[in-house]
Structure 1
Amino acid sequence: MTATLPKPVTIAGDLVQPALRHAVAGLDGSVRHVVSYHLGWVDEHGNPTTGGGGKALRPALTLLAAQAAGAEPDRAVPGAAAVELVHNFSLLHDDVMDGDVERRHRPTAWRLFGVGAAILAGDALLTLAVDVLQREADLPTARAATACLTDTVQRLIAGQSADVEFERRADVTLGECLAMAAGKTGALMRCATSIGAILVGAPPDVVDTLGQYGAHLGLAFQLVDDMLGIWGRPGVTGKPVLADLRVRKRSVPVVAALSSGTPAGERLREFYRRPEPPREEELAEMADLVERAGGLTWTETEARRHVQAAGDCLATLDAPAEARDALWQIALFVTERDR
C-alpha cells in the first residue's frame, strides 16, 4: 500500500497550525513543552523542529465539510483545531496504555518525560479543545459544536475502554471488535465532518450525511491501521515490526482469523493463549497464520466496503464538486496509505 497525502490535507494543516499553536501557547510551561514535543514542533530539549507532526487528516475533514455545506472553510477552523487537539489527547493516553515506545519515528512522550507528564499533557489538550470552541466559534453554533465534541469524547473513551478490556478476554467477537473500532476511530472522524457542518449552520440532513461519511471513513481508517500494525513497514509507519502481534493485540485481522474456524486460526489461538509473550522468531509465523486464516483478506474487503459506503454518502450530498471530490480523494487515501 502506498499513497500520497491529498493536497486538501496539506492545505488544511497550513490553515489550522496557527490556531493550534495559539491555543497551545496558553498552556503551563512544562505541559506546553511535552505537548509541543508530541505535536512534532520541538525536540526533547525544546529546540524547534520541522516535520514529524501528524497528517492533519481530521482538520481537513472539518474544513472540507464546511465547504461541502456551502461555506468558506476558514469558518470551521476552531472546530478543526478542537478535533485535532482531541485526537492528540487520545494518542498521548493510548501510547501510555499500550506501552508504545515510538511514534512518528521518535520516542513517545511518556518514554521521554514520564507517564504522569504524558497523561497531564493529554488532559490539557482535552480541556483546551473545548476551550477553543467556546472562545472562538460563533456563539449561535458553539453550543451545538461543543456538544458534538464532548459526546464524541465519551464514545472514544468507551471504544478505548473496550480495547483495554479485550486484552483480558479470549472470547472477543468480530462484532465487538468492529464496535470498538467505531468508537476509537469512527466516532472522532464522524465528529470531524459533523462539526464542520455544524459550525457553519448547515441543515441537520447535511450534518447527518457528512457525519455518516466520516463514520464509514473512520472505520476504514482503523481497519487499515490494524493491517499496518501487523504488515506495515517500520521505516514508514514509525512503529516496531509486527508491533500488534508482539503484544498480542486483538485487532480486527487477528479476531477475523481467530473466528475463521481454520487450522491456521486454531494455531494462532494457541499463541494467544500462552501466558508468556511470543518470541521474536515466532512473530513472523503468527503474521503468516493471520493471513492464511483469512484475516488479511477479510479486513481489506471490509475496509473497501466502508470506503464505498462513504462514497455513497457523498453521492447523495448536494455540495460543491470541489469539496465532494476532495472528500473522495481522502477516502481513497485511507485505504491506499502505508502509514
Structure 2
Amino acid sequence: MAAYSFGWREGAEAGGKGVRQALTVLGARAAGADAGAGVPGAVAVELVHAFSLLHDDIMDGDATRRGRPALWKAYGTGPAVLAGDALFALAVGVLADVPGGVRLLSGALADVLRGQADDLLFTSRPWTGPEAVTPEEYRVMAEGKTGALLGCSLALGALLGGAPRPVVAALDRAGRHAGVAFQLADDVLGIWGRPEVTGKPVGGDLREGKRTYPVLAALAAPEGARLPGLLRRQRTAQAAALIEAAGGRDAALTEARAHMAAARTLLDGLPLEPGAAAELGALLDALADRER
C-alpha cells in the first residue's frame, strides 16, 4: 500500500511534486551544510505528507488521486487508515536520533490536524450571516492544514544543517506563509484546474461545499448572493462562473502573492547561503504561481 501511494508500483504514475523534501534539503543547504544533512528530515516530512493525504482522501471522500483510484478505494478504508498510521510511525522513527526533530515534527502535525478539523467543520456552517466562515478563520485553517508542514520542512532542514534557533524559527514562519499561498493556489485549481493535470475531478471542492477562499471572496461581493443557491443545487459550472465574475479567483491569487511576499521578506532578512537562498526563493515563488 505504501508503494502504491508513492507511485512505486509497476505501471503507476509517479507520486507527488517533491516540494516538501526539496524544501528540507534547501533548508540544510541554506544553513551552510551539505545537502545530505537534510535527507533524514526530507524523508520524515514526505512520510508525514503521504500519511496526511491518505487520511485526507478518506475524510473528503475523494475517490481519485493523481489520476488513479485513491488508496482507500483500491484497498479499503480500514487498510488505508492503517497504512497512513504506519507511515507516520516510520516518520517518527527516522527522526528519533535527531535532537529536537521529533518535537518539531509533532508540533507541526498537531497544527496540520487542527487545520484539517477546521476544514471539515467549516462545511457545517452557514454560507452567510454571523456564523459564516471569515477570511481570517480561513487563513488560520490554511496555515495549519498546509503551511505547518511546509514550515516544518524548512525548519527541519535548517535544524539538521546546524542553524541557530532564531533562523530555524524564521524559516518555519516563512514556510507557513508559503503554505497559505500554496493552499490558495490549490483552491483555484480545485475549481478551475484541469483534471488531467490535477488528477482530481473538476469542481470537487464546490460539490463538497468547501469554504475555499475564492468562494468566501465571491460571497462578500454583491453578485455572491446567488452563490449559496447554486451550490446547494450542485450547479458547479454556474457557480464557478459566478465566483470568477465576482472576483473570487483574482482575490485568491492576490492573497497568495501577499503571503509569498511575506515569506520572501523573512528570507531576505536571514543570513543564508546565497546559492541555496536563491533556489529556495525560486521554489517558493513557483508554489503560488501554478497555472495547472
Please, what TM-score do these two structures have when normalized by structure 2? Answer: 0.95
* 1:191 maps to 2:144: no
* Pairing 1:302-317 to 2, within 5 Å after superposition: 302-317=255-270
* Pairing 1:22-37 to 2, within 5 Å after superposition: 34-37=1-4
Counterpart position of 1:177? 138
> Would the aligned equivalents of 1:220 and 1:307 in 2 still touch at CA under 8 Å?
yes
The partner residue of 2:58 within 96, 115, 118 is 96
Q: Distance in 2 between matches of 1:161 and 1:219?
A: 16
Q: Distance in 2 between matches of 1:50 and 1:268?
A: 39
Q: Distance in 2 between matches of 1:82 and 1:181?
A: 21
SS, match of residue 241 in structure 1? coil
The partner residue of 1:266 within 201, 216, 225 is 225
Counterpart position of 1:106? 68
Deviations, residues 301-328 of structure 1 (Å, cap 9, x unaligned): 0001111111112211222221011111
2:224 alignment partner AA? G
Q: Distance in 2 between matches of 1:261 and 1:313?
A: 33
Q: Distance in 1 between matches of 2:291 and 2:93?
A: 34
Q: Distance in 2 between matches of 1:184 and 1:178?
A: 10
Counterpart position of 1:154? 110
**Aligned-pair CA distance for 1:51:** 4.5
Deviations, residues 261-298 of structure 1 (Å, cap 9, x unaligned): 41x211002234x3xx51xxx21110011112221111
The partner residue of 2:194 within 229, 233, 251 is 233
**Aligned-pair CA distance for 1:201:** 2.3
Please, what TM-score do these two structures have when normalized by structure 1? Answer: 0.82
Structure 2 stretches lacking a partner, 5+ long = 127-131
Q: Distance in 2 between matches of 1:182 and 1:61?
A: 17
* Pairing 1:1-80 to 2, within 5 Å after superposition: 34-42=1-9, 48-49=10-11, 51-80=13-42
Q: Which runs of 4+ in 1 moved over 4 A?
A: none
Q: Distance in 1 between matches of 2:80 and 2:12?
A: 22
> Would the aligned equivalents of 1:219 and 1:303 in 2 still touch at CA under 8 Å?
yes
Give the aligned length.
Answer: 287
Q: Distance in 2 between matches of 1:331 and 1:86?
A: 20
> Would the aligned equivalents of 1:236 and 1:338 in 2 still touch at CA under 8 Å?
no
Deviations, residues 147-206 of structure 1 (Å, cap 9, x unaligned): 000011111000000011111111111111111111000000010001111122210121
Counterpart position of 1:224? 185
The partner residue of 2:81 within 119, 132, 143 is 119
- Residue identity over aligned pairs, in percent, reads 48
* 1:207 maps to 2:168: yes
